[in-house]
């Protein structure tokens, strides 16, 4: 019976992309909350900014 493959650890590249995307998303969500005082809108904005910045940093660092 073959053994299952071991998962790869998190690489430095993806850890850096994750950190930069999180910082960007939290900053955007915080700034929007400070200007509108809408928690739901700031959470939705942070999620969208996280996805967009992940793609941006992934292309930039590659």
> From CA 31, how far away is CA 36, in angstroms rounded?
9
pLDDT for 1 beyond 80: no
Question: Taking the model in full, what pTM does it have?
Answer: 0.83
- The domain ranges of the chain are 18-61
pLDDT digits (tens, 9 = 90+) for 27-47: 999 999 999 999 999 999 999
pLDDT band at 6 (very low <50, low <70, confident <90, very high): confident
What is the predicted pLDDT for the residue at 7?
Answer: 79
Tokens of 47: 């999620």
């Amino acid at each position: 019976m073959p053994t299952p493959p071991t998962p790869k650890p998190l690489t430095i590249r993806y850890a850096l992309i994750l950190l930069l995307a999180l910082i960007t998303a939290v900053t955007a969500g915080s700034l929007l909350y400070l200007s509108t005082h809408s928690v739901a809108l700031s959470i939705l904005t942070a999620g969208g900014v996280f996805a967009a910045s992940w793609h941006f940093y992934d292309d930039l660092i590659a």
